[in-house]
């Protein structure tokens, strides 16, 4: 059992380190885009399924409540949480449209849509990103497995070089935490550099 633990940690660390070696500039750019979105009075809409839905909610909570410093709440919404909206769209249309209809209803020019899909091929996430593009919203995607279709639908794609869902998700939540940290540092430098 100790070997399983050690090997899992080693593999996860290797995947994370490899991602950041190759994508550090893109992660910084994503943070700058999110900070600019918030600074201009706009919001971040986050979408995903399963574990990625949990990540969407986790990241939204860090922005709305706080991450590591006391600052004003920032407008982030996980579009994975309203069961009445999700089930009515699924029932009346199809599950493919659960994010695209919400983005069409709630998205305003200047907002950002963050789509999370370990495979990059989640139909509803990709449909949501397509809806965002029709509204001229900036799109950021988190994926693994080479990026799938998601990488073609985003202004900025952050692709984890792995085909193992747990390793991809572990890297995604670290990316989310770094986005929160960098965004706070950009918007509230006085809280870090007194």
Q: What pLDDT sits at residue 123?
A: 98
Beta-sheet pairing, 112-117 with 156-159: unpaired
Asked if the structure places residue 50 within a domain, the reply is: yes
Contact 46, 76 (CB under 8 A): yes
Q: Containing domain of residue 90, as a range?
A: 2-188
Beta-sheet pairing, 138-143 with 76-78: unpaired
Asked if the structure places residue 193 within a domain, the reply is: no
Asked if the structure places residue 82 within a domain, the reply is: yes
Q: What element of type H or E holds 141?
A: strand 138-143
Q: What pLDDT sits at residue 46?
A: 99
Q: What element of type H or E holds 116?
A: strand 112-117
- Sequence-distant (6+) residues with CB within 8 A of 2 are none
Bridge partners (DSSP) of residue 113 are: 45, 139
Q: What pLDDT sits at residue 150?
A: 98
State the total domains in the chain.
1
Give the span between the Cα atoms of 127 and 132, in whole angstroms. 9
Asked if the structure places residue 178 within a domain, the reply is: yes
Asked if the structure places residue 125 within a domain, the reply is: yes
CATH of the domain at 114: 3.40.50.10490
Helix, strand, coil % over all residues of the chain, rounded to 5: 60, 10, 30
Q: What pLDDT sits at residue 165?
A: 97
Per-residue pLDDT of the chain (194 residues; tens, 9 = 90+): 999 999 999 999 999 999 999 999 999 999 999 999 999 999 999 999 999 999 999 999 999 999 999 999 999 999 999 999 999 999 999 999 999 999 999 999 999 999 999 999 999 999 999 999 999 999 999 999 999 999 999 999 999 999 999 999 999 999 999 999 999 999 999 999 76
Bridge partners (DSSP) of residue 77 are: 45
Q: What pLDDT sits at residue 49?
A: 98
> How many other C-beta atoms are found inside a 10 Å radius of the C-beta of residue 149?
18
Alpha carbon of 191 to those of 36, 55, 97: distances in Å?
18, 26, 41
Asked if the structure places residue 194 within a domain, the reply is: no
């Amino acid at each position: 059992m100790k070997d399983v633990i050690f090997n899992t940690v080693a593999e996860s660390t290797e995947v994370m380190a490899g991602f950041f070696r190759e994508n550090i500039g893109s992660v910084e750019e994503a943070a700058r885009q999110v900070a600019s979105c918030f600074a201009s009075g706009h919001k971040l809409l986050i979408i995903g399924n399963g574990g990625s839905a949990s990540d969407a909610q986790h990241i939204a909570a860090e922005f709305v409540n706080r991450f590591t410093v006391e600052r004003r709440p920032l407008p982030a919404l996980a579009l994975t949480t309203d069961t009445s909206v999700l089930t009515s769209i699924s029932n009346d249309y199809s599950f493919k449209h659960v994010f695209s209809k919400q983005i069409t209803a709630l998205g305003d020019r200047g907002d950002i849509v963050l789509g999370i899909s370990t495979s990059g091929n989640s139909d509803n996430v990709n449909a949501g990103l397509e809806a965002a593009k029709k509204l001229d919203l900036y799109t950021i995607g988190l994926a693994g497995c080479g990026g799938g279709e998601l990488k073609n639908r985003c202004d900025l794609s952050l692709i984890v070089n792995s085909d193992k869902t747990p390793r991809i998700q572990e890297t995604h939540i670290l990316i989310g935490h770094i986005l929160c940290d960098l965004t706070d540092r950009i918007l509230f430098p006085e809280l870090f550099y007194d």
